[in-house]
Chains A and B, each alone.
Chain A
Amino acid sequence: MSVVSTTDLPRRDGVTMRLSDTLWRRPTLLLVLLLLPPVLWLGIIYLGSLFALLLQSFFSIDHFSGLINYEFTLRTYAELFTPANFDIIVRTVTMAACTTLASAVIAFPIAYYAARYAKGRWRAVFYLGIMMPLWSSYLVKIYAWKLILAKEGILTWALEGLHLNWLLDAYLSLPVVGGNSLSVSTTGTFIVFVYVWMPFMILPTQAALERVPASMLEASGDLGARPGQTFRHVLFPLALPGIVAGSIFTFSLTLGDYIIPQIIGTSRLFIGQAVYQHQGIAGNIPLAAAFAVVPIVIMGLYLYIARRMGAFDAL
């Protein structure tokens, strides 16, 4: 009988050790394993769905029975460019652009203050002050505005108290932006859009501003620039990637929303409503799909430009 010391035997590796060795020897395999689940999910479920959508847009609908005619046609896209539908696209894009601009203007001071001046406890206050509206219920926010803007709503009540009703009436009598009351006017829709999506502008702007070293502003002052000039020539250009990053959200979210304009607005359709109504109410899925392709194309362009402006690093 021979005695073999166990320590003299080569160490037997366990399964995990062997697997670990294999993965070390083949880093590509590890990478593939890591990427496979997310890529499959997003690739199949998300891109697959987008593809299905694209496919639908090349079908058409039987106008009497409302049933889909599964034959390839460009008719649905032609329909997209009828004046009534084209109006919807123009109206939505204009609204998205205005919302984005206004959001940028309102968000900038908040972001700038938070990035540069808020210290200690105030920093926390600002942070929560920005996060709370961002994450609080979307529907709640919209309905709060409906109550405020209605003709017999809180704004009227408040203005009555201040004897400033004439001001509101004067504004409402303006063409295009006015209306019977703010809640049925384009202005109302605009206010709510800005309110709901503006928080998405603050954080990226703030992040971009935080990355502007204070010495950059001092250098500008040192070289003779007044505060206004410093803003125009240094601060704004440097914050721009952040603003563009934020605008991806404000623009895209406005582009696709169908609940806000339905609750507060003039009954004129926006793209989101068109998609929703053609799909859900009229059952015209091909036309809804074609409408949905519009924001995809617009956002594609937008993302392309944003990326070239370096906005992705600011996301």
Chain B
Amino acid sequence: MHSDRAPLGLKIAAAAGLLFLHLPILLIFAYAFTTEEKSFQWPPPGLTLKWFAVTWNRPDVWEALALSVKVASISTVIALILGSLCAAAVSRTRFFGRETISLLVILPIALPGVVTGIALRSAFSIADIPFSTWTIVLGHATFCVVIVYNNAVARFRRTSGSLVEASMDLGANLFQTLRHVILPNIATALVVGGMLAFALSFDEVIVTTFTAGQQQTLPIWMLEELVRPRERPVTNVVAMVVVLVTMLPILGAYYLTRGTDTVAGQGK
């Protein structure tokens, strides 16, 4: 048994697995440049950049994008606050019901989105809440909390609890400790958690369909367009842009957590 060289079979299986994961996405990228606009003809009869200009001039795309950005931003902020509070409480002390809290936080992603979606919708209809940006945010923030929570808890676990004590020992009260020790130490974890939460919210469609009413976030716009296309390549351009835009926070998260033992983006 050789510890530093992988068996050939394993190499092939891993490479095949990664290929399987990547080829289909690249396909959509190719279609964003096709000259053919009605159907998906493979291989594309020709390539053009005109669809980027067309997309730029479509107001409905901008509206959907604006809504998505707004929802993702607000949800991220809420998730950051709730997630880090929860992580602080859970990692600070062992208290009765700790496990229950962790379970409560994990539940919104452990249960299928369709459940979360229809549950929120039932609640809205019972409480007579009309659909608005806020109804979308309610749903998104709920399942984004866990992303921030996971990242923050991992960081808290790694930062020794004695740092807080050391700070108080050196004369800093709770708030000074928060400002000078706790925040600087969990900052990158929070940034990473926030980025991942943003990316998750930005791409969410399953819960959103239930909580959006007639509003269109970008993924919902895409779903609509993919089914009932006006200009198919426009959809592909948007799809490509969405992939690239979600990738940015992920890359950022990667660079921020590089070299640490927690991998960013776990438990989407």
Expressed in whole angstroms, the Cα–Cα distance for A257 and B210 within the complex equals: 13
B224-268 residues with Cβ-Cβ distance < 8 A to A are 226, 239-240, 242-243, 246-247, 250-251, 254, 258, 263-268
Of B52-60, B87-95, B183-191, the one with at least 4 CB within 8 A of chain A: B87-95
Expressed in whole angstroms, the Cα–Cα distance for A148 and B105 within the complex equals: 38
A80 interface residue (CB < 8 Å to B): no
Of A1-9, A23-31, A82-90, A172-180, the one with at least 4 CB within 8 A of chain B: A23-31
By a CB distance below 8 angstroms, the chain A residues around B111 are 252, 256, 295-296, 299
Inter-subunit contact B145/A38 (CB<8 Å): yes
By a CB distance below 8 angstroms, the chain A residues around B106 are 315
A35-49 residues with Cβ-Cβ distance < 8 A to B are 35, 37-39, 41-43, 45-49
**Which of A24, A203, A285 contacts B174, CB < 8 Å?**
A24
A182 interface residue (CB < 8 Å to B): no
B45 interface residue (CB < 8 Å to A): no
By a CB distance below 8 angstroms, the chain B residues around A41 are 78, 82, 141-142, 145
Inter-subunit contact B42/A153 (CB<8 Å): yes
By a CB distance below 8 angstroms, the chain A residues around B83 are 38
A17 interface residue (CB < 8 Å to B): yes
B22 interface residue (CB < 8 Å to A): yes
Inter-subunit contact A53/B119 (CB<8 Å): yes
Expressed in whole angstroms, the Cα–Cα distance for A151 and B249 within the complex equals: 37
Closest to A144 in B: B24
A303 interface residue (CB < 8 Å to B): yes
Expressed in whole angstroms, the Cα–Cα distance for A138 and B208 within the complex equals: 13
Task: Determine how close the nearest CB of chain B comes to the CB of A14; give it in whole angstroms.
Answer: 9
Expressed in whole angstroms, the Cα–Cα distance for A31 and B47 within the complex equals: 60
A74 interface residue (CB < 8 Å to B): no
A101 interface residue (CB < 8 Å to B): no
B interface footprint on A118-136 (CB within 8 Å = 1, 0 otherwise)? 0000001011111111111
**Which of A48, A112, A207, A256 contacts B263, CB < 8 Å?**
A207
By a CB distance below 8 angstroms, the chain B residues around A132 are 21-22, 25, 247, 250
Number of residues of chain A lying within 8 A (CB) of chain B: 101
Interface range for B: 35 or more
Inter-subunit contact A143/B239 (CB<8 Å): yes
With A39-B104, A135-B265 known to touch, is A279 a contact of B31 (CB < 8 Å)?
no
By a CB distance below 8 angstroms, the chain A residues around B112 are 252-253, 255-257, 272, 295, 299
Expressed in whole angstroms, the Cα–Cα distance for A106 and B21 within the complex equals: 10
Inter-subunit contact A112/B14 (CB<8 Å): yes
A79 interface residue (CB < 8 Å to B): no
By a CB distance below 8 angstroms, the chain A residues around B107 are 42, 46
Closest to B138 in A: A45
B136 interface residue (CB < 8 Å to A): no
Expressed in whole angstroms, the Cα–Cα distance for A138 and B72 within the complex equals: 16
A305 interface residue (CB < 8 Å to B): no
B183-236 residues with Cβ-Cβ distance < 8 A to A are 196, 199-200, 203, 205-206, 209-210, 219, 222-223, 226
By a CB distance below 8 angstroms, the chain B residues around A144 are 24-25, 27-28
Closest to B207 in A: A256
Closest to B40 in A: A147
**Which of A35, A140, A147 contacts B85, CB < 8 Å?**
A35
A184 interface residue (CB < 8 Å to B): no
B interface footprint on A243-258 (CB within 8 Å = 1, 0 otherwise)? 0000011001101111
Inter-subunit contact B27/A147 (CB<8 Å): yes
By a CB distance below 8 angstroms, the chain B residues around A312 are 102
With A127-B263, A137-B239, A154-B27 known to touch, is A217 a contact of B1 (CB < 8 Å)?
yes
By a CB distance below 8 angstroms, the chain B residues around A193 are none
**Which of A23, A107, A143 contacts B28, CB < 8 Å?**
A143
A222-254 residues with Cβ-Cβ distance < 8 A to B are 227, 248-249, 252-253
A259 interface residue (CB < 8 Å to B): yes
Inter-subunit contact A199/B21 (CB<8 Å): yes
A interface footprint on B1-39 (CB within 8 Å = 1, 0 otherwise)? 101111100110110011011101101100100000000
Inter-subunit contact A42/B102 (CB<8 Å): no
By a CB distance below 8 angstroms, the chain A residues around B125 are 285
Inter-subunit contact A53/B114 (CB<8 Å): no
With A38-B86, A109-B17, A214-B3 known to touch, is A133 a contact of B104 (CB < 8 Å)?
no
Task: Determine how close the nearest CB of chain B comes to the CB of A221; give it in whole angstroms.
Answer: 5
6 A–B contact pairs at CB < 8 A?
A20-B173, A113-B11, A195-B20, A272-B114, A279-B210, A295-B111
B contact set with A: CB distance below 8 Å: 1, 3-7, 10-11, 13-14, 17-18, 20-22, 24-25, 27-28, 31, 40, 42-43, 78, 81-83, 85-86, 88-89, 92-93, 95, 101-116, 118-123, 125-127, 138, 141-142, 145, 150, 173-175, 196, 199-200, 203, 205-206, 209-210, 219, 222-223, 226, 239-240, 242-243, 246-247, 250-251, 254, 258, 263-268
8 other A-B residue contacts (CB within 8 Å) besides A41-B142, A147-B27? A19-B174, A134-B265, A135-B196, A140-B28, A195-B24, A259-B206, A288-B118, A312-B102
- Nearest 5 A-B pairs (CB), nearest first? A256-B112, A109-B13, A20-B173, A144-B24, A113-B14
